[in-house]
Amino acid sequence: MLTVGFIGIGTMGRDMALNLIAAGHRVQVHDVVAAAARSLADHGAAVADSIADAAAGADLVVTMLPDTPQVEEVLLGPGGLAEHPPAGGVVVDMSTISPEATRRMHAALARVGVSLLDGPVSGGPIGAKNGTLSIMIGGDQAAFEKARPALEAMGKTIVHVGPTGAGQTAKLCNQIMVGLNLQAVCEALALGRAAGVDLEVLRQVMLGGSAASWMLDKMGPAMIAKDDKAGFRIDLMLKDLRLVGELAFSVGLPLPGTALVTSQYLDARAHGEGGLGNQALFRVYDRMSNQGE
Ligand code: NAD
């Protein structure tokens, strides 16, 4: 069993930390919002008031933070992990951030003897809760083996994709699939609705054939019921699509499908829907087909 520092007790981090505790690891939790960390005290976590306390005596530290700037602050900022490295010398950043920034931070932490793994996840809040996330690891194989028992408490599919940054690159490819699959579901449901077909019947029959997809299966019911409660927020998806765009620019690759769906997510945000779940992309199609409330 490991001692794990866990920084970023948000939508995903909270359940991931709970799964680490359930697997028997000692978990030291920290969040810039102190109440978020404190909420895990009754569940067996040690509450850490600082990054240094979260890392103290830890075999590894996991970060689960919104975006690149927050990860940079926690890793390299004043009072951060470069100044207070975990005893075991391993940090796993499970946030979705820039692969290029990940490589820079890996080099900076290597100078203080810490191995940074990138380990972004797919599977959303349900995967975090059930411990069934898909985890995409980039970085050093030996550090990966050290972290493996902790990763196994949080995920089911755990793949070492390649060197530092490769995990984040895989996650960005994953997000292209997420965006375009969701767009495909929206478009099929929008046409079915406009042409007068029962959407649940349509969903069922499509699930039985070559149109079946995770999105249609898991998000279709919420889309049909107009249940837009936040799961994976549109604002977070736009952050990921921004990272996809930056990577595509850096390698000079046109991504026409991604460009279109990014515009549709921006349309959603412009209509005040950034805080809604991903499935609210269907509202964009409501507006195009005059099917709003
Ligand atoms: P969240 O905003 O719910 O949680 C982030 C947490 O980090 C918050 O509790 C916040 O207070 C904390 N935080 C921010 N800055 C901090 C700092 N400097 N020091 C300490 N704590 C700080 O976000 P989330 O939904 O849990 O997502 C986290 C990451 O996982 C993101 O990169 C996201 O893209 C990725 N992700 C999210 C989902 C999802 O469905 N929500 C799915 C896969 C991947």
Residue owning the nearest CA to atom 18 of ligand 1: 70
What is the model's pLDDT at position 292?
61
Is residue 293's pLDDT more than 70? Answer: no
Residue 157's alpha-carbon distances to 12, 111, 153, in angstroms, are 17, 31, 11
What is the model's pLDDT at position 197?
98
pLDDT tens digits, 77-106? 999 999 999 999 999 999 999 999 999 999
Q: How far, in Å, is the centroid of ligand 1 from the Cα of 236?
A: 9
pLDDT tens digits, 169-210? 999 999 999 999 999 999 999 999 999 999 999 999 999 999
Is residue 230's pLDDT more than 90? Answer: no
Which domains, ranges and CATH numbers included, belong to the chain?
3-162 (3.40.50.720), 169-288 (1.10.1040.10)
Q: Catalytic amino acids?
A: 171
Ligand 1 pocket check for 39: Cβ under 6 Å: no
Q: How far, in Å, is the centroid of ligand 1 from the Cα of 66?
A: 4
Contacts of 205 (CB under 8 A, 6+ apart): none
The whole-angstrom separation of Cα 119 and Cα 165 is 9
Question: What band does 291 get if pLDDT is binned at 50, 70 and 90?
Answer: confident
Ligand 1 pocket check for 62: Cβ under 6 Å: no
Q: Which of 167, 140, 164, 165 is nearest to 155 (CA)?
A: 167
Ligand 1 pocket check for 7: Cβ under 6 Å: yes
Q: How far, in Å, is the centroid of ligand 1 from the Cα of 95?
A: 7
Please give the average per-residue pLDDT across 254-264, as a whole number: 98
Please say whether the dihedral angle defined by the alpha carbons of residues 228, 230, 235 and 240, taken in this order, is positive or negative: negative
Average pLDDT, the chain: 97
What's the predicted TM-score (pTM) here? 0.95
